[in-house]
A and B are shown apart, each in its own frame.
Chain A
Amino acid sequence: MRKKRSLIKPLKLLSKTFNTQPHFVEQSNQQEIEIKKQKISRNYKKNLETFKTLYSIPDNIDVKTREFTIASLNRQALVIYLSTMTKLAYIQTGIIDDLVENQDPDRSIPDIVSHPLVRTVEVIEDILQGINSGSAALFVDGDNKCYLFDTVEIKSRGIEPPKNEVIVKGTKEAFTEKVIDNIALIRKKIKNENLIVEFKVVSKRSRNDVFLVYEKDLVDGELLQTIKDKLESLDTDSIADLSILEQYIEERPRSLFPTILYTERPDRAASFIEEGHITLLMDNSPSCLVLPATFWSIFHSPEDHYLRTPYGNFIRLLRIIALFVALFTSSFYIAITNFHVGMIPPDLLMAIAGTRERVPFPSIIEVLMMELAFELIREAGLRVPSPIGPTIGIVGALILGQAAVQANIISPIIIIVVALSGLSSFIIIDVSFNFAIRMTRFLLILSAGFLGIYGITAVLIIGLFYLGSLKSFGTPYFAPMTPYFLSSRDLLIRHVPMKDRFRPGYLKPKDVVRRRKG
């Protein structure tokens, strides 16, 4: 690789000299940064002033301050909180009521207040961070520390069934936007003290936090360190969502094929954690990332394991057939009709030729047009408001296809070919992998138009080598099949669950054996 870079280097330098970055003048907020570094004062009036300037009160409407007197101690007190992120009842009953109604002058503040979650901080920066994440801050005149009460309550939807990874048998819970609930969903499935939830702040300005969830006694220390280093090395202002984080930490963000598994099912996440994988969760993202991911983990569906062994294997086989059908039907059609006509039985050949008689386009144009139309219908079907969705589907699929045939723009067999490959692509549930398959299909169509089966095979082999060279955090894409690793051989066909004896060896788990023999 080094040599290659040395060739590109002068070009890069050249483009750098021409594309100079515009010079920005950043307004200095040095003064505010200085203030944030300080500790709070004993004088609560001064504290109030400081926070009023920092939060721009009264312009900032959801920052509330409440001043009152603690009669028993004869001291002034002040509570600051964000009304949109806290539960008011907690502040009322757990903090203010207790302080106001207290009679005993000898008790200290933590003894008076009944709210369970308290910590004391002194530096202004830390207090700000607490308030920003939904805590209420209590200042008492004469104290040089501030009490932070965890009163956070963020509005979000409840736990709902998954929308994209739909299954028939098995749990029907999906992750929500609230990370605490998501962790609870995982904990509910793994009741073990070794399940660790670690916390890391990844962006500088928005201070988005990422939660690493893994089992301490399974996960490979080296892998964990790699991921932590990767998260720490991110240098950015904001990462709003897990799907953006995915692009930040992927090895090849421009690659067609995903190397990180993105799932919205807690049961799937839990089963991966139990194998020794690491999952990443984030606030505001109704999903989790599983790493490292292999071709097989992306290809499998949780339902394969919920269904009884023969049924599970049946849908696996269906899926692998669908994968091939989705990839190759259109290109195979083009290759055969243009280059290897002898392959088609003569009667069928005459029939195809008969329907194509009045179509003015070459078959590759036909296929490309129809594939494009199918993708358009599919994308439109996703975006239209749900009441008119089915109508659009019928209009698109039936009327458009039928009319196009009658208008002699395409031949009827194209509809069969495109519908078959389009339908099959829906069987691959992983969103990223689905996109990869759909885009590769166009590549194969073009190569088939260029050199028939020879072109398809050449692209296929290059693709296979490309996939083989992909790595997800050091794990080869086709592991554990090749290169070989010890595993329970859950690849194309799965065994009965009792035979599922090993955790995948490529993760180097601390405990490979899941189940002893006998």
Chain B
Amino acid sequence: MKQQQEKLGIREYVCIAFLMIGMKGTEDTPSMLFSHVQNAAWMIPLLSGGLFFIPLFLLLKTLSLFEDKNLFEVIQLLLGKYIAFFISFIIFCLNTYAISLDTRTYTNIIRAYYFTTTPILVLYGILMVVCVYAAKKGIQRIGSISYILIFYVALSFFFAFWLSMKDSQFESIFPIWGPGTLELLKAGPLGIGLWGEFFILASLISFMTSFKDFRNGTWIAFGCVVIQLSLATMLFIALFDKGLSVIGYPFHVAIRYISIGEFLPNIETLFFPIWLSAAFIRFAAFLFINALIFGHLFNIKEYQYLIPSLATIYLLIGMIPETPIDVALLKEPLRYVAGPTFAAISIILWLSAWFKGEFKHAKNKKNM
């Protein structure tokens, strides 16, 4: 019974997944999508979601063969010690790159919109300290706190979007195919990078109450996030139209733009703490998972103690780019590489399981 308390329930898992990936709608992702396919940007999450559905489905199928093993143990079982180490290392490096630049992006947002005179290092340092504290408490606590917060996060996002509807013009989503269907299809794979986190979340299987919870949770979160991202992008397009191409962080511009009636003109300070809490949770979970991967790579059992040192390294890497523009430029290649890599690994895993006859084996086992 005591063991069970240490496990992550489906509610908590969905909340973590939602906060980790849904937060993308509130940073620079929508404007990045817009710069590629203009006013059809809202279709990219749907399209790439549809594309990523296949590798995710195959991944879950493969993982279901080894019920209580997590992603990296499965990679090791299927691909052997050396290739597995190589692949896990690539995943770890991609994550390191992603988390460093993402935390820096968030720091940039905080600095650009709320604390224009505070040194970046102070803002960045506090962000990391809070995330380290949270991550050290373990994924279970991260899940619990995200479950407590998710209601307020969702409510505040909906409230913001609802207020922005007043000034939106939904005609701006036309022409419906944006620059043309061909362009749209070309941009589809680019969007796969949006869902890379679902792949990493598979390393949490051993913390979950059951594999069934993990599978159902993943699908629920995936469905919610696809709709949420698409909806958010659409609302930003409706609100800013062409202007979205020059707006770096549309969510924050949107909450500055809106107001409650005449008497409260600037309400961004109401949304900021909630957005910030969600950001803390996002990076805490990210940090925890990275420490977990690192611990797995180098056989470190007590990986929680890695979290502070890893966070320091991320902070140092994140401090390298001088300006927000540099961050955006550095993030560009990640978008092209991360998504396809994760998708490819999923497919490779499934293929190797298939060739090894694991599926038949499992079927036989079931029949017996």
A343/B144 in contact, CB under 8 A:
no
Query: CB of B200 within 8 A of chain A?
Result: no
Query: CB of B137 within 8 A of chain A?
Result: yes
CB < 8 Å neighbour of A342 from B122, B144, B266, B273:
B266
Residues of B within 8 A of A474 (CB): 2, 5
- Chain A nearest CB from B22 CB (Å) reads 18
A345/B144 in contact, CB under 8 A:
no
Query: CB of B302 within 8 A of chain A?
Result: yes
Residues of A within 8 A of B270 (CB): 343
- Chain A nearest CB from B182 CB (Å) reads 45
B115/A452 in contact, CB under 8 A:
yes
CB < 8 Å neighbour of A483 from B12, B264, B268:
B12
B144/A453 in contact, CB under 8 A:
no
Residues of A within 8 A of B281 (CB): 461
The segment from A130-138, A369-377, A464-472 found at the interface with B is A464-472
- Chain A nearest CB from B253 CB (Å) reads 14
Residues of A within 8 A of B110 (CB): 454
Query: CB of A3 within 8 A of chain B?
Result: yes
Known: A342-B266, A343-B269, A454-B114. A482 touches B147 (CB 8 A): yes
Query: CB of A305 within 8 A of chain B?
Result: no
A454/B123 in contact, CB under 8 A:
yes
Residues of A within 8 A of B144 (CB): 468, 476, 478, 482-483
A456/B264 in contact, CB under 8 A:
no
A481/B148 in contact, CB under 8 A:
yes
CB < 8 Å neighbour of B118 from A340, A451, A484:
A451
- Residue-wise, chain B 133-167 has the 8 Å CB interface mask toward A (1 for contact) of 11001101101110111000000000000000000
Query: CB of B77 within 8 A of chain A?
Result: no
Q: For the complex, give the distance between the alpha carbons of A186 and B114 in Å.
A: 56
B5/A462 in contact, CB under 8 A:
no
B9/A453 in contact, CB under 8 A:
no
CB < 8 Å neighbour of A345 from B263, B269, B280:
B263
CB < 8 Å neighbour of A3 from B115, B137, B272, B302:
B302
B267/A461 in contact, CB under 8 A:
no
Q: For the complex, give the distance between the alpha carbons of A409 and B147 in Å.
A: 44
Residues of B within 8 A of A481 (CB): 147-148
A343/B266 in contact, CB under 8 A:
yes
Query: CB of A458 within 8 A of chain B?
Result: yes
A484/B277 in contact, CB under 8 A:
no
Q: Which of B123, B263, B273, B281 has the most CB of A within 10 A?
A: B273
Query: CB of B363 within 8 A of chain A?
Result: no
Known: A454-B115, A461-B280, A462-B134. A468 touches B269 (CB 8 A): no
B11/A453 in contact, CB under 8 A:
no
Query: CB of A508 within 8 A of chain B?
Result: yes
Look across to chain B and name the residue whose beta carbon is closest to the beta carbon of A476: B5
B264/A345 in contact, CB under 8 A:
yes
A508/B11 in contact, CB under 8 A:
no
Query: CB of A55 within 8 A of chain B?
Result: no
A462/B302 in contact, CB under 8 A:
no
Q: For the complex, give the distance between the alpha carbons of A222 and B138 in Å.
A: 25
B134/A465 in contact, CB under 8 A:
yes
Chain A contact patch, size range: 20 to 34
- Chain B nearest CB from A396 CB (Å) reads 33
Look across to chain A and name the residue whose beta carbon is closest to the beta carbon of B276: A457
A482/B148 in contact, CB under 8 A:
yes
Q: For the complex, give the distance between the alpha carbons of A342 and B255 in Å.
A: 13
B12/A482 in contact, CB under 8 A:
yes
Residues of B within 8 A of A453 (CB): 114, 269, 272-273, 276
Q: For the complex, give the distance between the alpha carbons of A107 and B110 in Å.
A: 94
A465/B141 in contact, CB under 8 A:
yes
CB < 8 Å neighbour of B276 from A222, A454, A462, A476:
A454
B114/A340 in contact, CB under 8 A:
yes
Q: For the complex, give the distance between the alpha carbons of A2 and B301 in Å.
A: 13
B272/A484 in contact, CB under 8 A:
no
Residues 3-21 of B contacting A (Cβ, < 8 Å): 5, 7, 9, 11-12
Query: CB of A336 within 8 A of chain B?
Result: yes
Query: CB of A426 within 8 A of chain B?
Result: no
Residues of A within 8 A of B12 (CB): 482-483
Query: CB of B180 within 8 A of chain A?
Result: no
Residues of B within 8 A of A454 (CB): 110, 114-115, 123, 126, 276
- Chain A nearest CB from B153 CB (Å) reads 13
CB < 8 Å neighbour of B130 from A462, A469, A476, A482:
A462
Residues of A within 8 A of B114 (CB): 339-340, 452-454
B134/A461 in contact, CB under 8 A:
yes
Residues of A within 8 A of B272 (CB): 453, 457
A339/B115 in contact, CB under 8 A:
yes
Look across to chain A and name the residue whose beta carbon is closest to the beta carbon of B262: A345
A451/B126 in contact, CB under 8 A:
yes
Look across to chain A and name the residue whose beta carbon is closest to the beta carbon of B10: A484
A461/B126 in contact, CB under 8 A:
no
Residues of A within 8 A of B143 (CB): 482-483
Q: For the complex, give the distance between the alpha carbons of A3 and B300 in Å.
A: 13
Q: For the complex, give the distance between the alpha carbons of A153 and B118 in Å.
A: 70
Q: Which of B268, B270, B276, B302 has the most CB of A within 10 A?
A: B276
Residues 107-125 of B contacting A (Cβ, < 8 Å): 110, 114-115, 118, 122-123
Query: CB of B368 within 8 A of chain A?
Result: no
Query: CB of A460 within 8 A of chain B?
Result: yes
Look across to chain A and name the residue whose beta carbon is closest to the beta carbon of B9: A484
Residues of A within 8 A of B267 (CB): 343
Look across to chain A and name the residue whose beta carbon is closest to the beta carbon of B131: A461
Residues of A within 8 A of B263 (CB): 345
Apart from A454-B123, A461-B134, 17 more pairs, CB < 8 Å: A2-B302, A335-B269, A342-B266, A343-B268, A451-B115, A454-B126, A458-B126, A458-B130, A461-B277, A462-B130, A468-B144, A468-B145, A474-B5, A481-B148, A482-B11, A482-B12, A483-B7
28 pairs from A and B in contact (CB 8 Å cutoff): A3-B305, A335-B269, A336-B269, A342-B269, A343-B264, A343-B270, A345-B264, A452-B114, A453-B272, A453-B276, A454-B114, A454-B115, A454-B123, A454-B276, A456-B273, A461-B280, A468-B141, A474-B2, A476-B5, A481-B147, A482-B12, A482-B143, A482-B148, A483-B7, A483-B144, A484-B9, A484-B11, A508-B1
| Residues of B participating in the A interface, judged by any CB pair closer than 8 Å | 1-2, 5, 7, 9, 11-12, 110, 114-115, 118, 122-123, 126, 129-130, 133-134, 137-138, 140-141, 143-145, 147-149, 263-270, 272-273, 276-277, 280-281, 302, 305
